[in-house]
Chains A and B, each alone.
Chain A
Amino acid sequence: MPRNARTNALGLSRNDYRGGKSTLCPGCGHDSISNQIIRIAYELGLEQHNVIKMSGIGCSSKTPAYFLGRAHAFNAIHGRMPSVVTGATTVNNELVAMGVSGDGDTGSIGLGQYKHLLRRNVPMVYIIENNGVYGLTKGQFSATADEGQFLKYYGDNDLPSIDLALEAIVSNCTFVGRSFSGDPGQVQALLKASIAHKGTAVLDIVSPCVTFNNAPDSTKSYPYGREHEIPLHDIDLLAPDFVEEREEIMIEDYEAGQIIDVPMHDGTIVRLKKTDRDYDPRQRVQAIQLLEEARMDNLLLTGLLYYEEPRMTLAESENLSDRPLTQLPDNMLRPPREALDKLMQSMT
């Protein structure tokens, strides 16, 4: 991809991928994620008219207004974005759905819809901007807050936290990533990979709330993330047409066994290059073990946590027509008069 070129393959500039001006607190992690979305969409040459930006309610859920201004968007109600995406993508299988939610939106009020969306394998990128608090309602603990954490207005949190990536894995999600909004490179790589995935791709991104939860001892803060983030691998994206050329370079740099190539549905290859640990995200039990370890030691392990060959999407398992149901001509929406007459005849 031409990094500094002024336009992408569609002849669009990066500006064409921006949205409205953000109204979030300066420094909010969510804005950083919006910027990465703008960037990768520009780089990938995403056709915005086919993108739908979906969200629930929260500071995080406001962000679709701040990127991809030429894409349709639906800022729905609190915790219910999954059902809205399910409906939209089922009736139009050409849409590329990008959902943005918060830890409150997904982990509390929306936990049920989240799990059921994953179970149905609704094709979409599901971004959780996870800050451990309810930003928009001013700093209450969310269900992903650290156990034992203290917050000024709400005191101690004695409850264990919910790991939304783990929830995704046990709900049979086939693509689960975790990242940190202070690591733009990795966020971009995971975003690109998730768009290439067929089915639900969950990205649980620690995205600090600078106003209510940014103390260094909070695992959802910038200082903590900057110091403790442990990338499981370096991620490279090999676009379908770049595979050959790139492969040569890579093989030289890495020894065998240190690279895992994960082919995506659209031909893209997600190349995971080993860092310190041996980790194969294609092993479910290993992924669960990893997250257990992260929980015990408060580790911020990031990267592609889990990947599995995608199973059928909802529309496929429902045996729906391959063409978008929203584009059926009128004569396919209404059977002919004879069909009704025949039926009525059979009833008299």
Chain B
Amino acid sequence: MSIAEIQQDTEFLAEERESHVNDFAFMVATKNGSGSQTSNSVLVRSLFHMGIPVNGKNLFPSNIKGLPTWYTIRVSSEGYIARRDTTEIAIAMNELTAAEDIADLPEGGVVILPQEWKWGRTRDDIIWYEIPVKETIRQFKIPSARREQVGNMVYVGVVSWLFEIPLDQVHRALSDQFRGKAGPVNMNYEVIETAWEWARDNLVKQDPYRFAPMNLTEGKILITGNEAAALGAIFGGVTFASWYPITPSTSLIDALLGYRHLRKDPENEKDTVAVIQAEDEIAAIGMVVGAGWAGARALTSTSGPGISLMSEFAGLAYIAEIPVVIWDITRMGPSTGLPTRTSQGDILFTSFLGHGDSQQVVLLPRDPAECFEFGWKSFDLADSLQTPVFVLSDLDIGMNNWMSEPFEYPDRPINRGKTLDKIGLEEFFAEKGEWYRYRDYDRDGIAWRTLPGTDHPRAAYFTRGTGHNDKGEYSERSDDWVENMERLRRKFETARTLVPAPAIETSPELRIGIVSYGSNDPAVQEARDRLRADGVDTSYLRIRALPLKPEVITFIEQHERVYVVENNFDGQMTSLIRIDMPQDNSHVESLALGDGLPMTPRFVYESILNMEQGQNAQERTY
């Protein structure tokens, strides 16, 4: 098949693939704050319990109440969980956006909307279901505060009948959602059942879409990246966290508080994980730096604006060599930007965070499972390297529910790095006759540290962000400065050997290589399958950390053309790659989306096809 032929077939719609069972997407349009998050979660969980691979992506506004919000749910019998940018079904519950929501539907699409709007049928190429939302709710005595939220259960009932979600699965999902509390479960279920019955008695099924039970989610879990990150931190020995509220990182700390009970002191039932809400992000990281210096496993969690505020402390922690873990659940910047939309736009800034010559260690999780893994690993790395470790997740991973394998227990014991306690220090002196805080005894750039409180007359050292020699003494001498910077470079090279390796799948052709990272993974995977089906074979390397491992450079060198797929506007990873391979990088092309929404397979697929044809990459907006 030629590229030109492939070009004809760029639609990802179920229609084109003639599969109407477990292979479509639908969108729920509501008003923010109306409690639709609950009903949408119930739908996602029901489908998950049916064994159907499913994703749910919340595209919400920066607003507490009133502004339009969309939720897209995609099911895929092939197990694809990337976001689809087109949906076959619209549940239009927001009159303000309904016109557009309906206009966006493809031919043969389905719209479900409230009867009471008395909306004329504006298209005759789609299927219309009008449902009695207000009337159904009126039959129940629902406290006014709950009315709107419960009202959303009407569409859950109708969807269940129309597309065949068994009611027992819905009930189970409701139970999950309300943690088994009978009151809310029953109240919501009654509404669902009534709506379901109304649909059975009044609607005539006209569309071909439906769900059918599968067994593809068995043993899997449904969880957000932020919950996973918090859990990872709990199993990584976090003892201190400080934060300042910011979307989309807040739920990480909320989860940490929720899991804190796993780490109670058995002797007194008190907490061993301090969680302090700071007055701003400067204080948050300041506390974390103080705690890390004192020997805690300390983390902070933030997003772009917070990262900006943290830069001075990041530089201090870098030069004073203090282990800290900083989660950036990235949202779209610059500035306040799109505060509730996803992005990978902090990677360049973060990897050099701090003024002067600083280079930071960055981990790039792709999903909740890796958030868990990096949740504990980040502490071992920070302690081993005595440096800040940044974990760059994003809003899509952090706040959306992802289908995931259950998390794996850490495969190695806790590693506190080169820390000398009283006895260690005595032995060190016995062996070396000296101990200086920043002397590179092992030639790996990492020196030995002591902690405050170490009962030894020579344990103390002076920590500072100012120039110092390897004894930790204040120094403005150029040779001392340069020597220290050279050691820090050596340390960075050691970091390169310690950070997680990329995931690589090489096609024997070695023609087209795709490089990507983080939450783009499902989109890249799906696009590659599509490309392969069209006869275009690709290799794929997923970067999992900075500094870049040598494997990344080798992979790029091996391939004729390399596409770097990322979700920011400027192609920031491409820039980082070019820094690390200044020669022979003319075959590296940036495919950067950066429109605030999770990466789509279509963007990757079409961009690569277009580029292969010598055309420009896909337009960004859909």
Contacts and interface: CB of A to CB of B under 8 A. Distances in A.
A8 to B, nearest CB: 14
Nearest to B452: A72
Interface in A59-84: 64-65, 69-77, 80, 82-84
Nearest to A72: B452
A15 to B, nearest CB: 13
Given A74-B293, A112-B279, A343 B462 contact: no
B531 interface: no
A244 interface: no
B145 to A, nearest CB: 30
B271 A319 contact: yes
B465 A91 contact: no
B392 to A, nearest CB: 23
Nearest to B421: A327
A94 interface: yes
Nearest to B284: A83
A69 B223 contact: no
Interface stretch (A45-53, A146-154, A204-212): A45-53
- State the main secondary structure of chain A at its contact with B: helix
Contacts of B316: 76-77
B240 A69 contact: no
A330 B237 contact: yes
Given A80-B313, A95-B294, A347-B222, A112 B272 contact: no
A305 B524 CA distance: 66
Interface stretch (A31-39, A182-190, A250-258, A333-341): A333-341
Given A332-B263, A348-B220, A87 B409 contact: no
B463 A328 contact: no
A116 interface: yes
Nearest to A94: B453
B451 interface: yes
A86 B279 CA distance: 12
A320 interface: yes
B312 interface: yes
B536 interface: no
Given A49-B459, A75-B463, A113-B279, A325 B240 contact: yes
A160 B250 CA distance: 39
B224 to A, nearest CB: 12
Contacts of A84: 286-287, 289-290, 293
Contact of B295 (A92, A319, A323): A92
A248 interface: no
A112 B281 CA distance: 12
Contacts of B288: 87
B221 A347 contact: yes
Contacts of B312: 77, 80
B330 interface: no
Interface string B201-238: 00000000000000000111111000000010011110
B460 A85 contact: no
B456 interface: yes
Contacts of B463: 72-75
Interface size for chain B: under 10, 10 to 19, 20 to 34, or 35 or more residues? Answer: 35 or more
B475 interface: no
Interface string B451-474: 111111111111111100000011
Contacts of A75: 462-466
B296 A322 contact: no
Nearest to B264: A321
Contacts of A86: 276, 283, 286-287, 290
B295 A318 contact: no
Nearest to A326: B295
B550 interface: no
Nearest to B459: A49
Given A87-B287, A113-B283, A334-B414, A322 B268 contact: yes
Nearest to B222: A347
A325 B273 CA distance: 8
Contacts of A87: 240, 242, 286-294, 296, 298
A46 to B, nearest CB: 13
Contacts of B293: 74, 84, 87-88
Nearest to A79: B282
A326 B407 contact: no
A344 B221 contact: yes
Contacts of A341: 409
Contact of B221 (A324, A333, A348): A348
A101 interface: no
A163 B218 CA distance: 65
Q: Chain A interface residue count: which class?
A: 35 or more
Contacts of B283: 80, 82-83, 86, 112-113, 116
A315 interface: yes
Contacts of B289: 76, 83-84, 87
Interface string A174-193: 00000000000000000000
A92 B272 contact: no
B66 interface: no
A92 B453 contact: yes
A194 interface: no
Contacts of A328: 237, 239, 272
A71 to B, nearest CB: 5
B589 to A, nearest CB: 40
Most buried by B among A323, A324, A339, A340: A340
B104 interface: no
A149 to B, nearest CB: 30
A58 to B, nearest CB: 12
B251 to A, nearest CB: 16
Contacts of A348: 218-221, 406
A332 B268 CA distance: 13
A319 B272 CA distance: 9
A166 interface: no
A348 B451 CA distance: 42
Interface string B175-215: 00000000000000000000000000000000000000000
A78 B17 CA distance: 62
B29 to A, nearest CB: 29
Contacts of B414: 330, 333-334
A232 interface: no
B287 A340 contact: no
B96 interface: no
B25 to A, nearest CB: 24
Interface in B348-377: 376
A75 B410 CA distance: 36
Contact of A330 (B242, B268, B296, B413): B413
B3 interface: no
A95 B452 contact: yes
B323 to A, nearest CB: 12
Contacts of B274: 90-91, 315, 318, 320, 325
Contacts of B295: 91-92, 326-327
Nearest to A52: B452
B121 interface: no
Nearest to B288: A87
B14 interface: no
A114 to B, nearest CB: 11
Contacts of A20: 473
Contact of A334 (B235, B271, B284, B287): B235
Nearest to A69: B460
Contact of A90 (B240, B263, B456, B473): B240
A314 interface: yes
Given A72-B452, A348-B219, A90 B237 contact: no
16 contacts: A72-B451, A72-B453, A72-B459, A74-B463, A75-B465, A77-B316, A83-B283, A84-B289, A319-B270, A320-B270, A321-B265, A321-B271, A323-B265, A325-B239, A325-B296, A339-B262
Given A341-B409, A348-B221, 13 more contacts: A20-B473, A49-B454, A74-B293, A76-B465, A84-B293, A86-B283, A87-B288, A113-B283, A321-B272, A333-B237, A334-B237, A334-B410, A335-B263
List 4 tightest A-B contacts by C-beta distance, closest first.
Answer: A83-B286, A87-B290, A333-B237, A87-B291
